[in-house]
Structures are given as structure tokens and as C-alpha cells.
Structure 1
Amino acid sequence: MFDLEKVKNLTSTELKVYEYFLQYTALAVDGSVREIAKATHVSPATVTRVVTKLGFLNIWELKLFLKKNMNRKSNQTFYEPTAIVEEFFKRSLTSEYEMQIKEAVKVILDSELTFFFGIGTSGDIAAYAARQFANLGISAFHIQDSSYPFHLMTKKYEKFVIIICSVTGETISLIEKVEAMKKLNSKIISITNTSHNTLARLSDVNLAYHLTEEIVDKGYNINITSQIPVVFLLETLARRTYERQNK
């Protein structure tokens, strides 16, 4: 929906506003600059700056653009994988992002077991990640069933972490599972498309990849946002954990 070249120049704080425009388009269209600022926990000046950086003269021009695009997702142009990779790596190769990865590795190293969980395509990638960790000799398991009795694990293991993959971070059944796991003192690492969602807020560590959302809207509203960054992040965690264990 937005020009990727312009999105790449947004700071981590400005990305919160950008994500809000994508996730809550209808609210953004109806809301004032102050209301958008309050919802994203930034200043009104930051909202105005994002509007300008995205190529609009003012908030009203942006709102008109958002309104015109609200019902056009079915005609969306999909991005080439090379553009997706470029968009992600420009944001991920920063000292701030590196610190988040190091924190995630520390949580994994401090745990006796690592579980991977996701729903749909994210579940398939979670299974791949568990296999990658296991291949490197790291105790890791993929959980397919959301009703898995994690509470029984606390009788044998005091420390374990669940790494959850989710594009939106708003799947109800997933959120309920995370809330239950936190009551068992489990650590939560989440990998989501944005940092402005419920799962990210519930996590001990969140790794957000900030891609422009891609939707196939032919009556089903299917999210096909690329998972290339997710695979990169999971493999990075596996290799970094292995390196730390074998120092």
C-alpha cells in the first residue's frame, strides 16, 4: 500500500505509527493526529513526521489515501522476494535489533527446554525451527496441539521457553495459551510482523520484522505476508545458541 522505499527510512518509533495505519486503517481514517499519537504512544509531532515521510502533504491527504485503499486489497500488487529481503535487512542490521537477538538467545540458554508453537503457516515454520534446533543438539520440540498440557511440564522442568510465530500476534486461541503459560512462569519469545500487538506485549522478548502486510482478499482475507524474515530469525537463534553452548 505504501512506497517501500519511504517505509525503509522510518525509525523504530515511527514504525509504530506506520503499523497503526496498516492494522487499524479505519480508526486512522476517523481519528485525529492526537488520537493516533495516543494510540501508538508517540507524540503528535511524530505522527505528523511519519505522514510527511510517507509522501503526504498532511494528515487529510493520508486519510484520503487510506480510505481509497481500504476496499482494494483484492487488487494488491505483491512484492518480489528481493524487495522483501531488502526491506527486512535494512531494519534488522542495527545495534538495537542485535541486542534483542542476544536477549532471546540468553533466554533460550537459561531454559532447560525450548518449545515452538504457531498456527497455520506459522505452525509449519515452528516445526522447521524445532528441527533446526534439534539438529544442533538443543532440546527443542514443536507443539501442534494448542491444548498440550504444558502445566505437567512444570513438575519436571523449572525453566522452559516457548517461541511463538505469528504474523498478526492477535490470534485469540494463541493469546489465551500465552496468558496461561505466563502463569506457569514460562518465558515467551515471539516473532511477529509488528511490535504493536497483544502477543508482543505479553512476551519477554519480541522480534518484529516489520514487513508491509500482503493480503489476498477474495472473500477469505488470507494473509500471505512473507515468512522469509521469520526463517532468518529462527535460524539465527539456533546458530547463536549453538555457538554460545559450545564456547
Structure 2
Amino acid sequence: MFTSEMIASFNELETSLYNYISKNSEKVAYMRIRELADETHVSTATILRFCRKIDCEGFSEFKVKLKMHLEEDRKTILKDTQHAVTEFFDRTLKGDIEEAIKDAAQLVSKADNVLFIGIGTSGILAEYGSRYFSSLGKFAMYIKDPLFPVHSSLRYNSTVIALSVSGETNFAVTHLNQMKQEGNKIISITNNKHSTIAKISDINIPYYVTEEWFENANITTQVPVLYILESMAHEVYKLNH
């Protein structure tokens, strides 16, 4: 309900008002403007100025939007993790994912350099993947910073493993395009095979689970990605030994 731009525009009194509302949203939604002024020790004029800064004509419109926001939060129902995992196994493991994992392992085993790329939650998994592969004898690195420079020595006979739920992450697309133009192999693990990252990859491994969002955060399960990474690492180990 409050954007970062709105919060940045608040003065000291408005910030204290914002803090009170954030902590007492359920109560504020049913208060009169005078009651809120008394509780927060600010004037009604300050409250009205606050309302205008958050794109409300007055206090009544603010309360309507606040109630709608609270109602949306109540409607959010998170799926059980077991359901997401079952969905992955039912949809994906009945297909040809195991063959795709083996093909990807072949590329990784022949590469001089292995580079994981991801951002956000996928960045955390990129770090995990590089550590897991390295633990099994195939040294790998990771990039989860969009501005991280890739040295020219790493752009020769490399295999890049890109992780992205949407498959549309701009920073990953930019890096992958550069690496592909220099003759490197691209493996991507995405939630579907029709994304930009999937299309520019030599091998794409989709896992097809229903995406979930909570308060603008993508909370889609990453259990399938862990399964794919660990399975691929094991296949690489078998090939190298």
C-alpha cells in the first residue's frame, strides 16, 4: 500500500503517522480522523496531507483502501509445500527430464569452466549449486550480482548454468547472450520452456510448478531446482570417474 517513493516523501510527523498505521492497521481502518490524531499526537491537517501523499483524496478514501489492502492479505492462501513437490513429480518426472539432466551433465563435464548465474532466490541457489558441484569434484563459480565482471579467461570453453523462475531476468539474459556469442554452452533451469532464457539455451530443463506470489515477492517453490542441480552434479561425477 505504501511505495518506497511515498515513504521517502514523508516528513518527521508523517513518518511517525506511517509507523503507527503500519503497526495498528486493523484498528486504524475503523477509527475517525480525530481519534487517529489524538492517538498519534498530530493534527488532522497532517493526516489529510499524509492521505494526499499516498494518492487519497481524504481520510475516508484512505480507510477504504486500507480495508481493501487488509482484505487482500486475508485472502492469501499459501499452498502446502507437499502439494508443490507432488505437482513437480507428477508433471515433470513423468517426462524426459532425466534425459535432459544427463545431456546437461555431458556439457558440464567437458567444460573448462562452470559458471552459475541467478539473482534473488535464484542467486542463492546459484551459490548452492556452485558449492555442490565443487564438492563433487567439478569446480564451479557463481554470479548473483548484475554488475559482477566476467573475466575474459572465463569466457572460453565454459558452460553457464542459468537459474530463473520466470526465465526473463534481464541481467541473466544479458550475460547469457554475451557468453553464447563467444561460443560457450548455456544450460537453463526455468519454470517453463517458452521463456527468453530457455530459448537462447542449448539445453533447457523446465520444472513446471504453479507460480506463487505473496506481497510482490515470488515465493514459488525451489525444491525442483535443488533436485535438478543435485541430480546433474551426480551425473557429472559419474562421467568424470
Q: Same fold (TM over 0.5)?
A: yes
Q: In the TM superposition, what is the alpha-carbon distance from 1:74 to its structure 2 partner?
A: 7.9
Q: In the TM superposition, what is the alpha-carbon distance from 1:76 to its structure 2 partner?
A: 3.7
Q: Is the 1:85–1:228 contact (alpha carbons within 8 Å) kept by the matching residues of 2? A: yes
Of 73-82 and 132-141, deviating more is 73-82
Whole-Å separation in 1 of the counterparts to 2:178 and 2:217:
28
Matched to 1:163, the amino acid is: I
Cα distance change of structure 1 residues 179 and 106 upon mapping to structure 2, 3 Å threshold: same
Q: Is the 1:74–1:215 contact (alpha carbons within 8 Å) kept by the matching residues of 2? A: no
Whole-Å separation in 2 of the counterparts to 1:239 and 1:123:
21
Partner of 2:219: 224
Partner of 2:25: none
Find out whether 1:194 has 2:205 as its counterpart.
Answer: no
Q: Is the 2:120–2:144 contact (alpha carbons within 8 Å) kept by the matching residues of 1? A: no
Q: Is the 1:92–1:98 contact (alpha carbons within 8 Å) kept by the matching residues of 2? A: no
Whole-Å separation in 1 of the counterparts to 2:74 and 2:159:
38
Matched to 1:89, the amino acid is: F
Whole-Å separation in 1 of the counterparts to 2:88 and 2:95:
15
Q: Is the 1:117–1:142 contact (alpha carbons within 8 Å) kept by the matching residues of 2? A: yes
Whole-Å separation in 1 of the counterparts to 2:73 and 2:193:
23
Partner of 2:111: 111
Whole-Å separation in 1 of the counterparts to 2:221 and 2:179:
28
Whole-Å separation in 2 of the counterparts to 1:110 and 1:150:
20
Q: In the TM superposition, what is the alpha-carbon distance from 1:144 to its structure 2 partner?
A: 3.1
**Structure 1: where are the runs of 5+ without partners?**
1-71
Partner SS state of residue 150, structure 1: coil
Whole-Å separation in 2 of the counterparts to 1:228 and 1:177:
25
Q: Which structure has the larger Rg over C-alpha atoms?
A: 2
Partner SS state of residue 183, structure 2: coil
Q: How many residues align?
A: 170
What aligned pairs does 1:34-53 form with structure 2 within 5 A after superposition? none
After TM superposition, the score normalised by the length of structure 1 is 0.64
Cα distance change of structure 1 residues 165 and 77 upon mapping to structure 2, 3 Å threshold: same
Partner SS state of residue 196, structure 1: coil
| RMSD of aligned alpha carbons | 1.9
Find out whether 1:89 has 2:89 as its counterpart.
Answer: yes
Question: Matched residues, percent identical?
Answer: 38
Give deviations 1:11-63, integer Å, cap 9, x for gaps. xxxxxxxxxxxxxxxxxxxxxxxxxxxxxxxxxxxxxxxxxxxxxxxxxxxxx
Of 160-169 and 85-94, deviating more is 85-94
Partner of 1:152: 152
Whole-Å separation in 1 of the counterparts to 2:101 and 2:181:
24
Q: Is the 2:189–2:225 contact (alpha carbons within 8 Å) kept by the matching residues of 1? A: yes
Partner of 2:166: 168
Of 170-179 and 114-123, deviating more is 170-179
Q: Is the 2:106–2:239 contact (alpha carbons within 8 Å) kept by the matching residues of 1? A: no
Give deviations 1:50-100, integer Å, cap 9, x for gaps. xxxxxxxxxxxxxxxxxxxxxx79834221111111111122323522221
**Structure 2: where are the runs of 5+ without partners?**
1-71
Q: In the TM superposition, what is the alpha-carbon distance from 1:137 to its structure 2 partner?
A: 1.1
After TM superposition, the score normalised by the length of structure 2 is 0.66
Find out whether 1:181 has 2:176 as its counterpart.
Answer: no
